[in-house]
Amino acid sequence: MSPLEATNAEIRRRLRNERRRREERRLAELPVRTIDALIAELEEMHLHGRKRVPESFEERLEALDATLPDECRGGELRSRITIAHLMDRLYSIQDCLFRRLPGRDAAGDGSDDEDHELPQAS
């Protein structure tokens, strides 16, 4: 293989990897965006004096639960509970999802094991 062919093959490989990473991130962020929308609606209802989650949320909550990884499940995602209770649960799920986003380490700050020091001013 010529150097030009090898370079082109490497470029194609990196492009495929980048597309795959972007798709993984998009799929990982989808439940986060869904939760954001639900929380916004719940906050609006709460501001208007509602106390409980309407039954009309049931289908959306079931759909959200189906997209969650196993370690982020395990709480009450249902209607007819207090809005504050469901919002607390959604924030907890969202925290779990943020810790799992691709490119984040266990500390959740986006850093990795390598030292990334800033250059020193002279």
**pLDDT score at 103:** 64
CB 78 within 8 A of CB 61: yes
Residue 9 reports pLDDT greater than 80: yes
Q: What is the CA radius of gyration of the chain?
A: 21
Question: Using one digit for the tens of pLDDT, what is the confidence trace for 34-72?
Answer: 999 999 999 999 999 999 999 999 999 999 999 898 999
Give the domain ranges of the chain: 29-100
Residue keyed to tokens 């090898």: 6
**pLDDT score at 26:** 85
**pLDDT score at 81:** 94
**pLDDT score at 107:** 47
Question: Using one digit for the tens of pLDDT, what is the confidence trace for 77-109?
Answer: 999 999 999 999 999 999 999 888 766 554 444
**pLDDT score at 28:** 79
Per DSSP, 122 falls in state -
Q: Once rounded to an integer, what is the mean pLDDT over residues 10-15?
A: 96
